[in-house]
Amino acid sequence: MASSRKWRPDPLDAARAALARHAAPGSRLALGLSGGLDSVVLLDILCTLAGPLRFHLSAIHVHHGLSPRADEWAQFCAELCRARGVELTTAKVAVDPASGQGLEAAAREARYRAFAQVDADYVVLAHHRDDQAETLLLQLLRGAGPAGLAAMPVAGAPRPCAGPRLLRPLLAVPRSALEDYAQARALAWVEDDSNADLHRDRNFVRHRVVPLLEEHFPGARETLARACALQAEAARLQEALARVDGAGAVGPERLCLGRLRELDAARARNLLRHFLAWHGVPPLSARRLEEALRQLLEARRDAAVAVPLDGRQLRRYRDTAWLVTPVPLPAGTQTGIQWRGERWLPLPWGGVIELEPTKGVGISAARLRQGAVMVRLRQGGERLQPDCRRPRRTLKNLLQEACIPPWERDGLPLLTCDGEVVWVPGLGVDCRYRCSPWEDGVNPRWVRS
């Protein structure tokens, strides 16, 4: 007679398959080790597979400092890794409970910031199928779309300058299988008392909501995890559509608004959502996304559109949306700094001016020696004559004509001699200071920070 026990994936086999698919031989893997059952099981599995799959294994323990037992957990992880010959990094992070996003979210954000600093190809996490089901329910209650309802991928997509990719090789494995594995291998782990705190959203879903669903809908966790996979497929289709709609309209930190106007409302929202995601902007709520789209497409032509986005701004200029990181200018920068002939001149408001000695190119060195040379910011009313065939004009008009966005203009360094503007990045050298052929000159270049 066949066994009535339901088949469950074996943690070791599941991890082996996921690692073989995503982590090439020679990859550097760093395990996110909390000391709890899930991550201790994954540590045991990774130690078993490191040789056969030829990857380098290390671990990182994030010390949140929120529990009186935090030091004890860090010590446990240190001893566990020492016994297995695994290099461990303990990262102490500051969690701001008054950040307005809740303690759980603030701790998670601090943890993932620490992961992003790890020198590895992958940070490996012990999320399992039950976590996936809980995440789906939480995302449903937040009103998330397909990308959010897809919950957690096995392997995170690579993003430039975003640190190591996340890898979750146990995502198809139920927690009960991890518990059986831990008992069979006689593993020791720590228990976090906060996991029983029902005031935390995930704990409430885990201990109250999911058991009720399982009681009425047997296999609910597996069904919910399967729904995540379907939502992930829908999210991939949305991204593919956004790439088609954005072809020729998306550049580094900019998006042509003409393309958004050509699309119906749903596709326009989809393209804007993915444009922001491609640049690492956290997902916006439906209301905020709709408002951003409205401002970009419907605000008056002369309106200074600036949609705040988690430390950045979405700006509009010449029918293009620009993703901008505001850089506040430090106090006292209007006075500027004096140039005394050095090759590199660091600027207090960011960046460096390189003044390269030349022959017959750039600014006349003899003219510069006749006065006090300063580098400063705009103060208003400055004029420049970069084209000898045209009259001297205001910087405001020249910058507009050169299509330099308004938010960049106040941070442009001006090279002056006895108060006269000699050179402006993006505009060029004033005619009166231009170097003649065979004359010693100085060729300025602004290197942004």
Q: Is 45 found in the same domain as 177?
A: yes
According to the annotation, is 35 in a ligand binding site? yes
According to the annotation, is 36 in a ligand binding site? yes
Q: Is 415 found in the same domain as 299?
A: no
Beta strands 373-376; 414-417: pairing state? antiparallel
According to the annotation, is 3 in a ligand binding site? no
Q: What is the end-to-end Cα distance of the chain in Å, rounded?
A: 72
Q: Are 378 and 412 in contact (CB under 8 A)?
A: yes
The predicted structure's pLDDT at residue 4 = 42
Query: What residues are paired with 375 via a beta bridge?
Result: 337, 415
Q: Is 309 found in the same domain as 270?
A: yes
The predicted structure's pLDDT at residue 3 = 43
Beta strands 56-63; 87-92: pairing state? parallel
Q: Is 370 found in the same domain as 221?
A: no
Residue 94, token pair as written in the block: 């500051």
Residue 353 in any domain: the answer is: yes
**What is the Cα–Cα distance from 42 to 60, expressed in whole angstroms?**
13
Residue 140, token pair as written in the block: 């449903």
Strand, coil or helix: what is 87?
Answer: strand
Q: Is 141 found in the same domain as 73?
A: yes
Domain hosting 375: range is 337-447
- Identify the CATH number of the domain in which residue 308 sits: 1.20.59.20
Q: Which residues contact 257 (CB under 8 A, 6 or more apart)?
A: 296, 297, 316, 319, 320, 321
Residue 6 in any domain: the answer is: no
Residue 216 in any domain: the answer is: yes
Residue 426 in any domain: the answer is: yes
Q: Where are the alpha helices (DSSP H) in 117-219?
A: 129-141, 146-149, 175-184, 201-204, 210-216
The predicted structure's pLDDT at residue 257 = 95
Residue 16, token pair as written in the block: 């082996």
The predicted structure's pLDDT at residue 431 = 94
Q: Is 285 found in the same domain as 201?
A: no
The predicted structure's pLDDT at residue 439 = 92
* CA dihedral for 29, 34, 39, 44, sign (positive or negative): positive
According to the annotation, is 194 in a ligand binding site? no
**What is the Cα–Cα distance from 274 to 246, expressed in whole angstroms?**
9
Q: Is 343 found in the same domain as 372?
A: yes
Q: Is 375 found in the same domain as 280?
A: no
Q: Count of alpha carbons within 13 Å of 253, Cβ hemisphere only?
A: 9
According to the annotation, is 26 in a ligand binding site? no
**What is the Cα–Cα distance from 317 to 86, expressed in whole angstroms?**
52
Total structural domains in the chain?
3
According to the annotation, is 51 in a ligand binding site? no
Strand, coil or helix: what is 294?
Answer: helix
Give the number of residues written for the chain. Answer: 449
Q: Is 263 found in the same domain as 151?
A: no
- Quote the crossing angle between the two packed helices 286-298 and 265-278, to the nearest 10°: 100
Q: Is 255 found in the same domain as 225?
A: no
Outline where DSSP puts E strands in 76-198. 87-92, 122-124, 165-167
Residue 331 in any domain: the answer is: no
Q: Are 23 and 122 in contact (CB under 8 A)?
A: yes
Query: What residues are paired with 222 via a beta bridge?
Result: none
Q: Are 448 and 412 in contact (CB under 8 A)?
A: no
What's the whole-model pTM score? 0.72
Residue 216, token pair as written in the block: 């009425």
- In this structure, which long-range contacts are made by residues 69-75, counting pairs with CB atoms below 8 Å and at least 24 apart in sequence? 69/190, 69/193, 72/190, 73/34, 73/35, 73/190, 73/192
Residue 238 in any domain: the answer is: no
Q: Which residues contact 130 (CB under 8 A, 6 or more apart)?
A: 174, 175, 206, 210, 221
Residue 307, token pair as written in the block: 């949609």
**What is the Cα–Cα distance from 282 to 284, expressed in whole angstroms?**
6
The predicted structure's pLDDT at residue 100 = 64
The predicted structure's pLDDT at residue 446 = 93
- Identify the CATH number of the domain in which residue 134 sits: 3.40.50.620
Q: Is 257 found in the same domain as 176?
A: no
The predicted structure's pLDDT at residue 368 = 93
**What is the Cα–Cα distance from 1 to 19, expressed in whole angstroms?**
36
Furthest-apart CA pair in the chain: how many Å? 102
Residue 239 in any domain: the answer is: no
Q: Are 56 and 85 in contact (CB under 8 A)?
A: no
Where is the domain boundary, 324, 359, 379? 324
**What is the Cα–Cα distance from 19 to 53, expressed in whole angstroms?**
8
Residue 46, token pair as written in the block: 């990774």
Q: Is 214 found in the same domain as 72?
A: yes
Residues of the chain predicted below pLDDT 50: 1-4
Residue 42 in any domain: the answer is: yes
